[in-house]
Amino acid sequence: MNTQRHILLWTLVGFLILIVGVVVWSDFYTRQTHFLAGTRPATAKPSSTIKTTLPPIRATDPTRGSQVPEALLVVEFADFACPYCRLLEPELNKALAESSRPIKFVWRDFPIPSAKPDGIVAALAARCARDQGKFWQMHDELFKAQTFDLSSIKLIAQNLSLDPIAFNQCLTGGPHFAELEQDIVITQQHGVSGAPTLFIGSEVVSGYVNADEIMAMIRRAPKYKP
């Protein structure tokens, strides 16, 4: 019993340390953003002169869909806790499912700092699930979740049959924190300043869009030419 209490105590301590680190980093990140993420002004004039371009896709980036060379690349930069990202999710899924074109979908984390660093904790949880080969299962469950506290995330991990010890050590130990921080820097260096941001072919759009708008972008995207 004492051993179990010690494990629980150290797990809680580790999580609190992680949260403190997230809050400190979130404050820095907040000062770097150009406009309120999740909005798409009709006449947006970003304060940065950086042209928005797609950062390089890495072999480690979570992907699903078609892997054939002619597949259209669709990349989403999003935050599990962002209201606009959560509204976009069913619209995006509908468009991708109904498209007759082969599509390779890539997820990139872009958590939005706030008073509660929920999105950052959720992004770390997804990466810890990725370590056990269940990123997309965690991805889908996080978009359904109403809260991202430790108990809720651990329950999702349990329902996904993740190794609880490995997952908890990953989440509270923060091995992916520096990796996530660097990814945010790379993203901003390419002019992405809000979530959600979608790259579809050569087009990019920030903020909420519906399935019809996404389908229109898919239809406009050039066909693959070997």
pLDDT beyond 70 at 72: yes
Does any domain span residue 164? yes
Range in 13-22, 29-38, 108-117, 214-223 with the lowest mean pLDDT: 29-38
Distance, in Å, from the CA atom of 175 to the CA atom of 171, rounded to the nearest integer, reads: 8
Distance, in Å, from the CA atom of 67 to the CA atom of 190, rounded to the nearest integer, reads: 25
pLDDT beyond 90 at 21: no
Residue, of 207 and 24, whose pLDDT is higher? 207
Judge whether 205 and 198 are in contact, CB under 8 Å: yes
Does any domain span residue 41? no
End-to-end CA distance of the chain: 64
Tell me the one-letter amino acid at 208: Y
Average pLDDT over residues 153-178: 94
C-alpha closest to that of 98 among 226, 210, 205, 181: 210
Does any domain span residue 166? yes
Residue 75 lies in domain: 2-36+50-220
Range in 123-127, 171-175, 196-200 with the lowest mean pLDDT: 171-175
Does any domain span residue 18? yes
pLDDT tens per residue across span 36-45: 334 443 333 3
Does any domain span residue 44? no
pLDDT tens per residue across span 41-68: 333 334 456 789 999 999 999 999 999 9
Range in 17-26, 117-126, 138-147 with the lowest mean pLDDT: 17-26
Looking at residue 85, its pLDDT comes to 95
Name the burial class of residue 62, with classes exposed (0-12), middle (13-18) and buried (19+) by CB atoms within 10 angstroms of its CB: middle
Does any domain span residue 226? no
Looking at residue 118, its pLDDT comes to 87
Q: Tell me, what DSSP letter sits at residue 47?
A: S
Has this prediction a pTM greater than 0.75? yes
C-alpha closest to that of 123 among 110, 106, 134: 110
pLDDT tens per residue across span 86-142: 999 999 999 999 999 999 999 999 997 664 678 999 999 999 999 999 999 999 999
Mean pLDDT of the chain: 83
Does any domain span residue 225? no
Distance, in Å, from the CA atom of 152 to the CA atom of 214, rounded to the nearest integer, reads: 32
Q: How many domains does the chain have?
A: 1
- When pLDDT is cut at 50, 70 and 90, the band that residue 27 belongs to is very low
The angle formed by the CA atoms of residues 81, 144 and 114, to the nearest 5 degrees, is: 10
Q: Please give the C-alpha separations between residue 97 and each of 68, 94, 103, 142, in angstroms, as whole numbers.
A: 17, 5, 9, 20
pLDDT beyond 50 at 20: no
Does any domain span residue 32? yes
Domain with residue 104: its CATH number is: 3.40.30.10
DSSP helix/strand/coil, 104:
strand
